[in-house]
Structure 1
Amino acid sequence: MSSTLGLLCRQCCRSILSPRPVLLREFSTTPIVALRRTKKIPVLSKKALAAKARKRAAKARKHIYENEKMPLESAIDVIRAVEVAKSNATYELVIKTAMSRGAIIPKGRIALHRETKPRAEDRILIFAEGRQADEAKSAGAHIVGGLELVDGIISGKHHATTILCSTALIRAITPKLGRVLGPRGLMPSERRGTVTDDFSGYLRRLSGTAEWKGDKNGVIRMPIGKLHFSTEDVTKNIRQFVTAVKRVTGNQKDTEEAKGKSKSVKPVNAITRIMLSSTQAPSIQISDI
């Protein structure tokens, strides 16, 4: 009958009048307990984890300039040969660190073997009262006072490059000056050592040093010498600065930590690259630091 009518279904290409196939539902007979069984993940030892990390690092794609490293003295000679237009050009050292989220931005102070440029004089402001105020004035502070200095700092009357505070006044000035001095990096804090009662000792350490600081990505830039400096002077400056950065970032232990006297352990912020450049010369990655 269906062949005579010639009526076919467009979806299944069968005759409209032919009976449809019976659909059967198949049920699984697998036990429920067998479905809940999970494969146990083996716990690797520290030695196995280290070997696994080495294999992963060996397979990882290397940086495009990984094979273009130079020893420090060779890099200085190349930059000196390229930088012929300016005899007073400046060597710049760039240190890149692998900062993790929430890590503290590396910063510190250093006195180089040979200074690149004349150091600007620091203007010191100290919050202190009573006998501590007299000690701060005798130590060489430019502005010394108590809570009366707060309004002058907010209005811009008092200018300072370094602000210290005694332990007795820090809680009183923090609510008023935290938002003003915090973004400028001048707010006294115990972590930076600017909340102290030993003002003479801090100012003694401050004299003759220059401050360095990384950015939020962990990149540290430092003018490290002039082109007319001898290779020995530039080399000493670079090695001295790199050593200071390694100590702050935890890549090199201090003498107290090495002897086991210090109980606090600094988290390591790994140094990924050290590059030397100048105004017109290319950046050269250093291999022997």
Structure 2
Amino acid sequence: MANSKRLAQALQAVEQTKQYEANEAFELIKQIAFAKFDETVEVAARLGVDSKKQDQQVRGAVVLPHGTGKTARVLVFAKGDKAKEAEAAGADFVGDDDLIQRINQGWFDFDVVVATPDMMGSVGRLGRVLGPKGLMPNPKTGTVTFDVARAISEIKAGKIEYRLDKAGIIHAPVGKVSFDTEQLVGNFRALIDALQKAKPASAKGQYFKSVTISSTMGPGVRVNVQRLASSSAE
């Protein structure tokens, strides 16, 4: 009951029809957050693309300049020297067939999966279990690479992946409520810039249909889309 009361108060603080400037929006998100834990701040960007068309998919990765507020647990599929390189770079788990077997048995104590290209023949068999969780390595997000040290370094520094869902929306975290407003805005702009650069050539009309930010438990706050589009234009 206490949470629903706090949510009602938070909802009252948000003008539903207003599109806030980014700084103002993140200030408000921080003010109305009420959970007893450090909530994640997430962006939901509705894009003017057709998610059913293959040439209008939006997918990629971006390193948030101020990190995500948590250190990702990185699993690397590699052999020989590349396995040693991954261990030296700070990977949490490194292996090949042994890890494939563990995952097939239901183990998922990791956040990001990296694989060297020569391992993808074996890792591909995990598609049915890793795919639905968004954990399958992909060249587009830099997680299929021989440069495992760089991949691990970027992920640990705050690299996130983004992917268009069936409703044409990108959901991505940009930090924690405990972050300074400037840090949240900096991460937010890095994400928006990455989405702008990932705009499909075949997409017509308004690209950013709506952009809403929210904390884990809090209500959504809409951000000025026109200002975003002009500040992120090429």
Question: Which structure is higher in strand share?
Answer: 2
- State the TM bucket, normalised to the shorter chain: 0.5 to 0.7
Match of 2:132 in 1: 183
- Paired residue total: 202
CA shift, 1:68, in A, is 5.8
Quick check: 1:104 aligned with 2:57?
yes
Quick one: structure 1 residues 268 and 157, their matched pair in 2 at CA, closer, same or farther if it must change by over 3 Å? same
Equivalent position of 2:192 in the other structure: 242
- Structure 2 CA distance, aligned partners of 1:158 and 1:240? 29
- Quick one: which amino acid aligns to residue 162 of structure 1? V
Cα-Cα RMSD: 3.6
Question: Which protein shows a greater Rg?
Answer: 1
Distance in 1 between residues matched to 2:33 and 2:116, nearest whole Å: 51
- Provide the rounded CA distance (Å) in 1 between the counterparts of 2:33 and 2:85: 51
Q: Per-residue CA shift, 1:201-242, capped at 9, x if unaligned?
A: 111222221425343222134455777876655544433332
Between structures 1 and 2, the one with greater helix share: 2
Q: With the length of structure 2 as denominator, give the TM-score of the two structures.
A: 0.66
1:256 matched residue in structure 2: none
Change (3 A) 1:287 1:71: farther
How many Å apart are 1:86 and its aligned residue?
4.8
Report the counterpart of residue 118 of structure 1 in structure 2.
Answer: 69
Higher relative CO (Cα under 8 Å, sequence separation at least 6) belongs to 2
**Stretches of structure 2 lacking an aligned partner (at least 5 in a row):** 1-16, 229-234
Aligned residues of 1:73 and 1:235 also touching (Cα < 8 A): yes
Distance change (3 Å), C-alpha of 1:236 and 1:135: closer
Corresponding residue number in structure 2 for 1:201: 150
Q: Deviations over 1:19-59 (max 9, x none)?
A: xxxxxxxxxxxxxxxxxxxxxxxxxxxxxxxxxxxxxxxxx
- The change in CA–CA distance for 1:280 and 1:153 in structure 2 (over 3 A counts) is closer
1:46-57 matched pairs, under 5 angstroms: none
Query: TM-score, normalised on structure 1?
Result: 0.55
- Is 1:143 aligned to 2:93, yes or no? yes
Contact 1:105–1:218, Cα closer than 8 Å, also in 2: no
The letter of the residue matching 1:135 is: E
| Matched letter for residue 215 of structure 1 | D
Supply the distance in 2 between the matched residues of 1:234 and 1:86 (Cα, whole angstroms). 18
1:61 aligned residue: none
CA distance in 2, matches of 1:276, 1:158: 28
User: Post-superposition shift, 1:154?
Assistant: 0.3
* Consecutive unaligned residues in structure 1, runs of 5 or more: 1-66, 251-265
